[in-house]
Structure 1
């Protein structure tokens, strides 16, 4: 007799578990230099795999029956896992951006909910004494008689979203630092990490909305959202691995933080800064869309750190502004003096895309390139 063990909804969870386990093994076996965050990514993958296993044990009836023969405790074995996902993601992003590895002394506070989990379970078991605990195996609503259980479920969601927001903040701060070293920060900005963090936040936002639906007694909607989140989780893990492994080289090397105190520039520094401006113009260095502060330092034959110091302190701007102001001035001249297309103008000015050109040009001129040409070109 053929018996259906897993249904189509369970399949997404099974694939998620299998894929996470396999890729975790690959990440742990690949030998790479420190600062790649492979161990943290492997931990995050396993956290999602264990969460999927916990869900599968409860909602797959054949598997639930087999597990229930051991008592109620297996259903509480992995419910601590969602608490570690946010901290692991944050540690992974921080490691990839700054090479800042996990430190137990500094980061142990992020795992306090996991350390307190046994105490939470003890309180929940005490609140559900008298049959509700065992009844909850087949009637999930019975566990909602424990206020601590409800708080724990909301703790998952709030914690994950808070860490997701923290990761977004960290990435935005990094984008500001990129402007100190790149004339086109988008070339070095870790777009794939934005997608990873965005996927994580989107996934837990869906969990949060599902919880709200349950809170508002919209049981059917809550059930549908609970099923769909399994498929979303599988898609998220797939994209996480794809971007982490295939796009890992786009992460820029760690950049030094700006100095806390800035000294008043002397006459020598001011002259050196003006010389950098002349060099940028005479050699048309700004025409390189991928120009970096390292390239400018090499052309000027002075240390990279000194170049950053001169631009920041003597000219009062960052490298991004320093180069793009020159590009905009060239674009203004070409728009007025010639009949080239906008695409040709942006290419001859050192920009690499029309969207970037329009955004930067309007930032400095407060007009679009087309409007500027229309108002300033001689009849």
Structure 2
């Protein structure tokens, strides 16, 4: 029964990847290197999933000489995800070269570690699956191969996932410096997927450790398979549907170079000009407001705006605009009967979730609680006035 569930899970994962590959290959509008590295990441995941399918379905008995080959394939999972993340956040087209060839180090180390196991015959490998027929010496070789591969896998994959996470966090900060709404640009979904992959592949390591001690927990195996399947399906779906990020030229224009070139007096005047534009013209209500748009309206260069906000006001562009949106939202929540979503859209947010997060960050309470307190306070004021 366990093998049936595992086969089902990995078959679903393989189908999701195959569908995403077809979509990615036929989709237009994405930069060439982003599509290429996304497809390569999908192919690496597909190879991993097919390897798991061969194991859990028992198909390895048809080609026992290939047993263990999936260990080398697993070494490219982390790098494949990293290269896709790098292409996604990069403002220029990226090519494979230089230190990128270090990606081959993991598979090479695993292949070297597997040499003793590879020397076993097909019958000797099959005999290892049954405690009654396994040879103790051959079993020790298998344990050595598994242990060495596990250490390499955790180290190698962990490093690349951390590098990918750092790229996403740096990209998010860059978007916050240039845009007032970043939910479709920040790649937060990629960060979540990275954490899920890290968790799933850590569970894989735990499962392997338990196997080496002669312990097998079916529930853990099933949980691992379905967790990995959900993560792979989400990665495939969100990767295909990720909107095009700012173009190379636009991204460079929206990323100002920060240099201390303004005096404190000049920054004070600039800050007043920015506040006037946001409050008088209600620019914060524009859901597509960006650093470039604010520069066009005020006549202040992007570099000067960025330096004033970071050095004088002490916030980035994202928080600067959203603090004004939160102030206006407070007024609407207190004085009108607009629901939360209507208030969010009115002040420039694109969704209720981003509005709730920003409002709580700047006000300290969720919008619903703020409205309840505001109305309760107003009711008490009315009662006091009557009495």
- Give the TM-score of the pair, scaled to structure 1: 0.76
What number of residue pairs does the alignment pair up? Answer: 361
Deviations 1:25-68 (A, max 9, x none): 6645666653552222222222233233434444544x434324
Equivalent-residue separation in structure 1 for 2:316 and 2:324 (angstroms): 13
Of the candidates 42, 45, 69, which is equivalent to residue 42 of structure 2? 45
Q: Tell me, what secondary structure is at the counterpart of 1:137?
A: helix
- 1:199 deviation in Å? 4.0
Alignment correspondent of 1:113: 106
Aligned pair partner of 2:324 in 326, 329, 332: 326
Which residue is equivalent to 1:316? 314
Aligned to 2:187: 190
Instruction: For 2:7 and 2:359, locate their aligned partners in 1 and report how far apart those are by CA, in whole Å.
Output: 52
2:170 aligned with 1:164: no
Shift of 1:358: 5.0
Q: Partner residue of 2:140?
A: 145
Given that 1:20 and 1:45 are in contact with CA atoms closer than 8 Å, whether structure 2 keeps it comes out as yes
Moved more, 103-112 or 18-27: 18-27
Higher relative contact order, structure no. (Cα contacts within 8 Å, ≥ 6 residues apart): 2
1:81 aligns with 2:68: no
Query: What is the distance in 1 between the residues matched to 2:356 and 2:233?
Result: 35
Q: Deviations over 1:151-188 (max 9, x none)?
A: 21343245334433443343233222222112233343
Q: Distance in 1 between matches of 2:31 and 2:147?
A: 40
Residues in 1 aligned to 2:27 and 2:356: alpha-carbon distance in whole angstroms: 43
Structure 1 partner of 2:385: none
CA offsets, 1:347-375, max 9 Å, x none? Answer: 55445555545544444444563446656
Alignment of 1:1-379 (within 5 A): 9-10=6-7, 12-13=9-10, 16-17=13-14, 20=17, 23-24=20-21, 27-28=24-25, 34=31, 36-61=33-58, 63-68=59-64, 72=65, 74-99=66-91, 101-125=94-118, 134-140=123-129, 144-146=139-141, 147-214=144-211, 217-219=214-216, 221=217, 223-226=218-221, 229-245=224-240, 247-249=241-243, 251=245, 255=251, 259=257, 261-265=259-263, 267-332=265-330, 338=335, 340=337, 343=340, 348-351=346-349, 356-366=354-364, 369-370=370-371, 371=373, 379=382
| CA-atom RMSD in angstroms | 3.8
Partner of 2:177, secondary structure, is coil
- Residue 80 of structure 1 aligns to a residue whose secondary structure is helix
Unaligned regions of 5+ residues in structure 1, if any?
1-5
Consecutive aligned runs of 4 or more in structure 1 exceeding 6 Å deviation = none
- Structure 1 residues 259 and 296: alpha-carbon distance in aligned structure 2, compared to 1, 3 A threshold: closer
Report the Cα offset of residue 111 of structure 1: 3.1
Unaligned runs of 5+ in 2: 383-387
Q: Distance in 2 between matches of 1:26 and 1:350?
A: 33
**Deviation sequence 1:81-103 (CA, Å, 0-9, x none):** 10111011011012112246243
CA displacement 1:222-277 (0-9 Å, x = unmatched): x45445544554444433222111x2206455755664643343644542332122
